[in-house]
Structure 1
Amino acid sequence: MTGLGWGSIVRLGLVQAAIGAQVMLATSLLNRVMVVEYALPAALPAGLVAWHYAVQLSRPAWGHGSDRGRRRTPWIIGGMALLAMATVAAVGSLPLIAGGAVAGYLFAALAFAGIGAGVGAAGTSLLALLASRVAPERRAAAAAITWIMMVAGIVVTSGVAGSLIDPFSLARLAAVTAGVAGTAFVVATVAVLGVERGRVLADAPPPSEDFPTAVRTMWADRDARRFTLFVFVAMLAYSMQDMILEPFAGLVFAYSPGESTRLAGIQHGGVLAGMILAGVGGNAFRGRDATGLGRWIVGGCAGSALALMGLAIAARVGAGWPIAANVAALGFANGVFAVSAIGAMMALAGAGGVGREGIRMGVWGAAQAIAFGTGGLVGAVAVDVMRRATGADAAAFTLVFACEGGLFIVAALLSVHARRSRREPLIAVAA
């Protein structure tokens, strides 16, 4: 099997960028609008985002389906089409929800289910395509490139959307969302067409086992099982601030929707810088297979914990705190951690044999989805509960940011313990 060249890897990175741009609108900007502009409980958008992650528990099925087929491109394009339509529908549900109509909540739940299914189908198949067609010595670099491009897409979309929706109106929000969704679908479709050239799994027969058997086979692998556990714990820590950062900026620092969206762009810019550093420093771009990424994972977790403690202090200090710099530091540390973990994931995906990359990526994607859904919902609900209990926004956000920082410390300790094991589990094996 001929491996993908750098040009094809970059093209697939455009698909990842298109996915990230749309998910940012649904999980970040729309969350902020619901909580601040429409004064809805933070638990509502958090619940919808948690629901879209719950739907992503179907990722192993999407991955297994693409494993058993001969082409992954239809799964990617189909998922992108569903994601674009569902993102537009999610914004369309907002006036119905604001008016108290039950149909609005049902429509929103259906839209976020479509977002979860679209991300699951397109994202899992994309990662499986990379894992199956990229040469082993290029897998870590491919992971870094595609995630760097995803974050770049989020940064660009955050900046453009933040500029276009001020002064805020629902009509502006709907127009911006439709424009982003349509552009993302076209870019992703053009990028992926022709990459496979009909040879993705042509040189090996597709796996014959059914879905339950494929999952059991993958779970019997000790390294894959332990890596799944690490993915869950680390991503739980990673996700708790997702649903509260923009409301935090609006409630504590009085940021407008455009300002808070641009603050999210600053965070993602930090993520981008951290990913580039980890990609270079972690040997991702040096023709080696992710060697030494364990140290970068630990450093990213520790740095994320420190930045979150800074945000906990910021909630108390208020306007005098350098919030933009703090958020940029958080993004940077998150980026170091994320690209290192993804590089390890990509390296381990091919260990199950040719034609089984999809099921592995699907299981890890499902673990990540459970963690993201749980973390985002727990963070938002904790903020709601603490705001009601204390009557103070500062105390609520301080508690949640501090708890998230503590989880990152736990993740770092888990990875250090794994690296010290004489049997080289988790990080060392994944790298």
Structure 2
Amino acid sequence: MTGAAPPFGWLGIVRLGLVQTALGAIVILMTSTLNRVMVVELGLAAAIPGLLVSWHYAVQMSRPRWGYGADTGGRRAPWILGGMAVLAAGAILAALSAALMTSHFWAGFAASVLAYALIGGGVGAAGTNLLALLAIRTQPSRKAAAAAIVWIMMIMGFVLTAGIGGGFLKPFSFDRLILVTVCVCAIALAVTFLALRGLEPVQKLSTRRAGSGVDSAQENAAFRVALMETWNDPQARRFTVFVFVSMLAYSAQDLILEPFAGFVHGYDVGSSTQLSGMQNMGTLLGMIVTAIAGTVIGKSRAGFMRAWTVGGCIASASALLALGLGTYSFGADWPLAANVIALGIANGAFAVAAIGSMMTLASAGGTRREGTRMGLWGASQAIAFGLGGFLGAAAVDVARALMDSPAPAFALVFVLEGLTFIVAAALALRVGATRADDARLPSMPSHEFLTVRTGDAT
């Protein structure tokens, strides 16, 4: 980084938020709609799309390396645009692969493996560099607002695609799926290009090591040193464990919610996609309420964020337990939409509070390791999302094989996810309780986490 690049104004922050909107619009089709199509329309075991989504998260384990590259310098806009292009190509290939599975399963599955590798690489490359750019170019006094703006705009991408795309998928056909995917990707790329145009100076942000006679072996060694320095920080390490467990619980219901709506409640493809939109609208509401409350409280913001992180985990656990126990007791008569909206609100409160704590820790120590720390937590998130999605889907397959009907099978998995959120709440308390010197940390929380729902993610 160099002083030549001025801090972002509000317009610059919103423009980066538009990129997040575009990224979220593509990702929701892959992790939600396409998953349901494979399980219900193609009749595949839920573990198959779960495995594919896990693979795309495994590719993102290289996020720390991308974050370190952002720390050491170089323009980030080309990485963001290039990553979005790779993501779009992967999404279109994934839709084509699903259609191919109807006649040539193994060829379609092989193409899907490549498609999800592209999706993972694109999300990681675009997201990591976008967040590093936001962290470095945003003034401390504006980071809290930037957190809310950028994250909420990503959720808007989820909501818009789920609602509008779900409508265009009625009546469902694979031709419609491919057409909707191509249109969403084209719009997302156009928005990304226009949002990034002129946002970053043409000159490099800092002198790259490669230009100073450092070869790739030395660069890789320097990266390993930076990564170990980050891991050896007790607070960073504890937060990494919390991120893993909380995102394991957060993601385990992602791949089974739409199949659950189809099997137990009789929803069609468009309706189950719109149900995901309702959940994301709830998440959006939870984030807005948390961001406003954090701004109003002001001076006690650090303690507020820790408390809401714990409270959000407990509220999410309660919503999942209600979904599981309600389904077990009442089956299709349980008010699914209201429960899913409540789950989204709880998830939103948890996510925004956890993101605030994350950015506070990312800037701690003054070592210019924002990207490396963000990459470490992003990798932890990716591993958790991959395992969570796969384990949730596989658990449903096993439970359905052992039980007479799908309702109790899904209910059991939702209860297990709720209990995992309770463990995450205990870990969040541990992070807060062992922070010996909160006073030296910046009190202004911010956003450095992509993908949430992913993902995600970002």
Tell me the TM-score normalised to structure 2 length.
Answer: 0.89
**Correspondence list, 1:30-49, <5 A:** 30-49=34-53
* In 2, Cα distance between equivalents of 1:393 and 1:130: 44
Instruction: Give the 3 Å change call, closer, same or farther, for CA 419–291 of structure 1 in structure 2.
Output: closer
- Note the aligned Cα RMSD (angstroms): 2.3
User: How many Å apart are 1:315 and its aligned residue?
Assistant: 2.2
2:248 matched to 1:244? Answer: no
Instruction: Give the 3 Å change call, closer, same or farther, for CA 212–300 of structure 1 in structure 2.
Output: same
User: How many Å apart are 1:354 and its aligned residue?
Assistant: 6.2
User: How many Å apart are 1:143 and its aligned residue?
Assistant: 1.7
Instruction: Give the 3 Å change call, closer, same or farther, for CA 359–386 of structure 1 in structure 2.
Output: same
2:121 matched to 1:109? Answer: no
Deviates more, 1:220-229 or 1:207-216: 207-216
**Correspondence list, 1:254-269, <5 A:** 254-269=266-281
**Secondary structure of residue in 1 paired with 2:24:** helix
User: How many Å apart are 1:21 and its aligned residue?
Assistant: 1.0
Question: Paired residue for 1:150, among 138, 145, 154?
Answer: 154
**Secondary structure of residue in 2 paired with 1:11:** helix
Q: What's the counterpart of residue 334 of structure 1?
A: 347
What CA deviation, in whole Å up to 9, does each residue of 1:219-240 have, x standing for no partner? 1222211111111111111111
CA contact (8 A) 2:97 2:108 kept: yes
* In 2, Cα distance between equivalents of 1:377 and 1:40: 14
Q: What's the counterpart of residue 350 of structure 1?
A: 363
Q: What's the counterpart of residue 67 of structure 1?
A: 71
Q: What's the counterpart of residue 198 of structure 2?
A: 194
CA contact (8 A) 2:67 2:129 kept: yes
Q: What's the counterpart of residue 276 of structure 1?
A: 288
Q: What's the counterpart of residue 189 of structure 2?
A: 185
**Secondary structure of residue in 2 paired with 1:197:** coil
2:304 matched to 1:300? Answer: no
Q: What's the counterpart of residue 97 of structure 1?
A: 101
What CA deviation, in whole Å up to 9, does each residue of 1:61-82 have, x standing for no partner? 1112232332111110110000
CA contact (8 A) 1:284 1:290 kept: no
What CA deviation, in whole Å up to 9, does each residue of 1:56-113 have, x standing for no partner? 0011111122323321111101100000111000001012223244221111000000
**Correspondence list, 1:351-366, <5 A:** 351=364, 353=366, 355-366=368-379
* In 2, Cα distance between equivalents of 1:111 and 1:17: 21
Instruction: Give the 3 Å change call, closer, same or farther, for CA 421–356 of structure 1 in structure 2.
Output: closer
User: How many Å apart are 1:318 and its aligned residue?
Assistant: 2.2
Structure 2 residue ranges without an equivalent (≥5): 446-458
What CA deviation, in whole Å up to 9, does each residue of 1:201-220 have, x standing for no partner? 34999997622112112112
* In 2, Cα distance between equivalents of 1:35 and 1:181: 23
Deviates more, 1:239-248 or 1:281-290: 281-290
Q: What's the counterpart of residue 247 of structure 2?
A: 235
* In 2, Cα distance between equivalents of 1:417 and 1:216: 22
Q: What's the counterpart of residue 220 of structure 1?
A: 232
User: How many Å apart are 1:424 and its aligned residue?
Assistant: 5.6
What CA deviation, in whole Å up to 9, does each residue of 1:149-182 have, x standing for no partner? 1001110110011100010000011000000011
Q: What's the counterpart of residue 17 of structure 2?
A: 13
Deviates more, 1:127-136 or 1:137-146: 137-146
* In 2, Cα distance between equivalents of 1:36 and 1:251: 8
* In 2, Cα distance between equivalents of 1:6 and 1:341: 23
**Secondary structure of residue in 2 paired with 1:210:** helix
Q: What's the counterpart of residue 310 of structure 1?
A: 322
User: How many Å apart are 1:322 and its aligned residue?
Assistant: 1.2
**Secondary structure of residue in 2 paired with 1:41:** coil
Q: What's the counterpart of residue 455 of structure 2?
A: none
**Secondary structure of residue in 2 paired with 1:176:** helix
Question: Paired residue for 1:119, among 97, 105, 123?
Answer: 123
* In 2, Cα distance between equivalents of 1:398 and 1:337: 23
* In 1, Cα distance between equivalents of 2:377 and 2:433: 23
Q: What's the counterpart of residue 451 of structure 2?
A: none
Q: What's the counterpart of residue 337 of structure 2?
A: 324
**Secondary structure of residue in 2 paired with 1:93:** helix
Number of matched pairs: 429
Identity %: 53
Question: Paired residue for 1:3, among 7, 27, 44?
Answer: 7
Matching residue's letter, 1:401 = F
Q: What's the counterpart of residue 428 of structure 2?
A: 415
Tell me the TM-score normalised to structure 1 length.
Answer: 0.94
* In 2, Cα distance between equivalents of 1:379 and 1:154: 21
